[in-house]
């Protein structure tokens, strides 16, 4: 390790959890992260919709899923 850093230098300390900013994902405990394979045409439509409505892709996908799954929610 000293050969990489140098004999007279010390390694930087890792920031503690209290020093790190809280990301948006950590604020909402009701969310989960999932990956799904979707058709290319659907991906293009979702991206276009997000741009036109000025929303994040996550928000658009959640809106679409809520409308399609309203009988199950």
Rounded CA separation 65/46 (Å): 12
| pLDDT at position 50 | 97
Q: What integer best gives the mean pLDDT of the chain?
A: 80
pLDDT in tens, 15-27: 555 555 555 545 6
| pLDDT at position 30 | 87
Domain ranges for the chain: 35-73
Question: pTM for this one?
Answer: 0.59
Q: At what angle do helices 57-68 and 40-53 cross, to 10 degrees?
A: 110
Rounded CA separation 46/42 (Å): 6
């Amino acid at each position: 390790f000293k050969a990489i850093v140098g004999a007279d230098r010390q390694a930087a300390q890792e920031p503690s959890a209290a020093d790190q900013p809280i990301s948006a994902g950590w604020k909402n405990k009701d969310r989960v992260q999932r990956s799904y394979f979707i058709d290319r045409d659907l991906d293009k439509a979702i991206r276009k919709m997000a741009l036109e409505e000025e929303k994040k892709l996550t928000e658009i996908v959640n809106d679409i899923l809520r409308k399609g799954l309203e009988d199950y929610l």
